[in-house]
Structure 1
Amino acid sequence: MRFLMLEAYYGGSHKAFMDGLCQHLPHTTELKTLPARHWKWRMRSAALLFLKDIEEIEAYDAVITTNMTGVADFKALAGPLCPPVFLYFHENQFDYPPSPHSGHDLNPALTDLTSALAADCVAFNSEAHRIRFLKTASEVLSRFPKPDLLWTLEAVEKKSVVLYPGCDFALFLNGKKDFSIKPRCIVWNHRWEHDKNPSDFFDALSEIQRKRIPFHLMLLGARHAKIPEVFNKAMAVFKDHLVYSDYPSKKEDYARLLSKAHICVSTADQENFGMAVAEAMAAGCLPLLPARLSYPELLPEELHPFLLYKNREGLVSRLEWLLSCPEKELEKLKGLSSWILRFDWKESLVPLMQALEGMVLARPSSCSEMIRK
């Protein structure tokens, strides 16, 4: 088969997913991308920009894209020769926390809805994401004037599947981590943006600092040119704890730094899979995560009481324990670097291939054959 891959926001988890698919799919792939910036403009313009660069849309067996491309626009403008479209949701705009500097804009959310309706197969990157999309979309659409649009969600649900994104863990699996080292090192390897809720993270560190519990700190997450002020303040407050603060340009350097950390903390308000946490776990870090979003799916259920927290008090008390307890008390938490391999490309590729090939083969004939008939 021949797949046309479209990524309108080629960066972060979007880039990793598309690159991994191109590398691992046993089919011919052709990838077209747009830079990872101006995301709202990408959602509105990507279909036009991609179609301008496609000579024969009917030459492909399927199109694979993510929700940064307006699929309804793409299929309408591509016309009847358009092959089936596989839509992958990394995030959705019905529940994406609005920036503190802007109001809530429903246009991207409605683009997500029409994209899901127009796509032939809709995949979410976790079960929590699929459930939350349907729930938050229902809440938003219920506020619209009658007649309502709730029927659209039934249509989306019928063709939706959960497909975890494949992860490439090869660089992170570097042997047993030494938890006898003190002070232990906490790592933040998430994007430096408001939806990752860095304020709660640094508030918890302030409490740990006030209790005079020693720790080291690494800040590795991706960032834009304009850094949120909370990070500038934190780098001053925790300067005596900070051992690294940059985003390595090479993945090998990023993996090497993760190998030196012990505890990966998330305080995110929005996370639909958790690629950064999965990579830290593969590198041997113990994750400390909120008991919400997709995070419970990343851990074996028996470890939820130890590594998931429900509120700020739970975050501080769990973090204090992970920093202070003897190494032998952590034995029951080790082995996560093996557990997380269930999300490696070797495991994730099979259900992805089944969904893609099933979507294509479900058609009685190709679009071009249908037109000729």
Structure 2
Amino acid sequence: MLLVEPYYGGSHASWVDGIKKHSKHKITCVTHPDSYWRWRLRGGAVTLAEETKAAVTTVGKIDLALVSSMVDLSAWLGLTRKTLKDIPTVLYLHENQLNYPVKPGEKINDEFAITNWRSLLAADEIWFNSDFQRQALFQALPSLLHKAPDFSHEYLITEVKKRTRVVPVGVELQDLQGSKRKEEIPLILWNQRWDYDKNPEEIASSILQLADEKIDFNIALVGENVRNNPHELLEVRDQLGERVVEFGFLPRDDYLRLLNKADVVISAAKHEFFGISVVEALAAGAIPVLPNHQSYPEIIPEPWHTSALYTPGELVDRLRDVLLNLDTWSSTTEGLVQEMQKYDWSVMIDTYDSLIESVINEYGHNL
């Protein structure tokens, strides 16, 4: 199998590495670094196609291509048609450009959304990391395609949707302990990418408000920083000093140690199609304080919705209550550690391997 990842870094890299490590199939990877995402969508197909040709020369026949979504799949298939022939091709959507929130001051640009649409059309199957993303994309497609001056593609939406399925990302959970109440002073964890769509402003203001109220806690603000000046997070560090026990990106071993110490994991994300970092924290035993939208109601099973999810505008109130009544909230979220195990790669890889075989059998030649 050929595994193509145009944006190899972060959660995309974890996905690639997990498949390669755990799958029973022989995996050949073609990747580009996780930079210049616009160029990956505009021009990545050309260089990925060249690397694909070189890979096939080395390894020989390919039975299936599993391609991540940060590329124009239609262009890549066109450029590799003589090398790959007509092999079954699966498009995996970690995210899409139809639903990605626009930064303040930026204008909506349909170029990359249309690129995603062409990729959907070109794939034999389309796998989404969550049903939340799948539903959001198909809700957004009609208004995008309705903008066409003529020859609208709207009539193709139903046919494309029939070729979709939800295949969550696998997560490495074996090194997480799943224990409760680990720190004498409650340790809050915010472990998301430092960008506008993860809403660091609300995280920072909530933490500072609770600190002003003299509530006892420490805080770890960790994740990939993609901004030149994460001013609101810097303000938290400056005002709280030693209470900020971690700040910035951590090596994997240090991050695992932090996960196993965290008492509470928080999010205020405006955009989340899956949430690997939240799954990791829950598997380590952290109490979730998460918004009741995005992918979170899908990740959190329904019996825990009341205890794990808050309505917009209630982050401060919920977090305050959790910190002041940690044992009570810990008992109400009992069982989530075990629920997260379904996302472990040791479990998820059986789904991937089975689907790989079924796609090959349906669209290509038998293994």
Task: Identify the residue that residue 285 of structure 1 maps to in structure 2.
Answer: 286
Residues 288-299 of structure 1: pairs in structure 2 closer than 5 A: 288-299=289-300
The amino acid that maps onto 2:45 is: A
State the alpha-carbon separation in 2 of the partners of residues 328 and 21 from structure 1: 38
Question: Does residue 78 of structure 2 align to residue 59 of structure 1?
Answer: no
Q: Report the more deviating stretch, 275-284 or 324-333.
A: 324-333
State the alpha-carbon separation in 1 of the partners of residues 240 and 109 from structure 2: 36
Deviation at 1:79, TM superposition (A): 2.0
- Paired residue secondary structure (1:254): helix
Task: Identify the residue that residue 323 of structure 1 maps to in structure 2.
Answer: 323
- Paired residue secondary structure (1:123): strand
The amino acid that maps onto 2:2 is: L
Residues 227-266 of structure 1: pairs in structure 2 closer than 5 A: 227-249=229-251, 251-266=252-267
Residues 143-182 of structure 1: pairs in structure 2 closer than 5 A: 143-172=147-176, 174-178=177-181, 181-182=183-184
Distance 1:293 1:328, change over 3 A: closer
Distance 1:103 1:230, change over 3 A: farther
State the alpha-carbon separation in 1 of the partners of residues 148 and 270 from structure 2: 25
Residues 95-106 of structure 1: pairs in structure 2 closer than 5 A: 95-100=99-104, 102-106=106-110
Q: Which residue of the other structure, out of 202, 207, 211, is the alignment partner of 2:213?
A: 211
Residues 1-373 of structure 1: pairs in structure 2 closer than 5 A: 3-53=1-51, 54-55=53-54, 56=56, 59-79=61-81, 81-100=85-104, 102-172=106-176, 174-178=177-181, 181-224=183-226, 226-249=228-251, 251-312=252-313, 314-363=314-363, 365=365
Q: Where do 4+ consecutive residues of structure 1 move more than 4 Å?
A: none
- Paired residue secondary structure (2:104): coil
Over residues 208-243 of structure 1, what are the superposed CA-to-partner deviations in whole Å (9 max), with x where a residue is unaligned?
223222221101111237243332233223335311
The amino acid that maps onto 1:43 is: L
- Paired residue secondary structure (1:238): helix
The amino acid that maps onto 2:26 is: T
Deviation at 1:267, TM superposition (A): 0.8
The amino acid that maps onto 1:25 is: S
Contact 1:192 1:227 in 2 (8 A): no
Contact 1:186 1:263 in 2 (8 A): yes
- Paired residue secondary structure (2:127): strand
Q: Report the more deviating stretch, 265-274 or 72-81.
A: 72-81
State the alpha-carbon separation in 2 of the partners of residues 176 and 233 from structure 1: 31
State the alpha-carbon separation in 1 of the partners of residues 329 and 28 from structure 2: 50
State the alpha-carbon separation in 1 of the partners of residues 72 and 360 from structure 2: 20
Over residues 86-116 of structure 1, what are the superposed CA-to-partner deviations in whole Å (9 max), with x where a residue is unaligned?
1100001001012335322211111111001
Could you list the runs of 5+ residues in structure 1 that have no partner in the other structure?
367-373
State the alpha-carbon separation in 1 of the partners of residues 352 and 37 from structure 2: 26
Deviation at 1:198, TM superposition (A): 0.8
Task: Identify the residue that residue 370 of structure 1 maps to in structure 2.
Answer: none
For normalisation by structure 2, the TM-score amounts to 0.92
Deviation at 1:265, TM superposition (A): 0.6
Contact 1:117 1:155 in 2 (8 A): no
Q: Percent of aligned pairs with the same residue?
A: 29
Distance 1:143 1:208, change over 3 A: farther
Deviation at 1:306, TM superposition (A): 1.5
Deviation at 1:252, TM superposition (A): 1.6
Contact 1:218 1:243 in 2 (8 A): yes
State the alpha-carbon separation in 2 of the partners of residues 335 and 270 from structure 1: 26
Could you list the runs of 5+ residues in structure 2 that have no partner in the other structure?
none
Deviation at 1:330, TM superposition (A): 2.5
Contact 2:87 2:364 in 1 (8 A): no
State the alpha-carbon separation in 2 of the partners of residues 271 and 344 from structure 1: 19
- Paired residue secondary structure (1:32): strand
Contact 2:194 2:227 in 1 (8 A): no
- Paired residue secondary structure (1:267): coil
Deviation at 1:190, TM superposition (A): 0.2
Contact 2:45 2:73 in 1 (8 A): yes
- Paired residue secondary structure (1:15): helix
State the alpha-carbon separation in 2 of the partners of residues 52 and 150 from structure 1: 33
Distance 1:6 1:281, change over 3 A: same
State the alpha-carbon separation in 1 of the partners of residues 100 and 212 from structure 2: 33
Deviation at 1:328, TM superposition (A): 4.4
Distance 1:160 1:216, change over 3 A: same
Over residues 49-98 of structure 1, what are the superposed CA-to-partner deviations in whole Å (9 max), with x where a residue is unaligned?
11212244872111111101211001112225142211100001001012
The amino acid that maps onto 1:317 is: D
State the alpha-carbon separation in 1 of the partners of residues 146 and 209 from structure 2: 41
Distance 1:148 1:317, change over 3 A: same
Distance 1:118 1:306, change over 3 A: same
- Paired residue secondary structure (1:271): coil
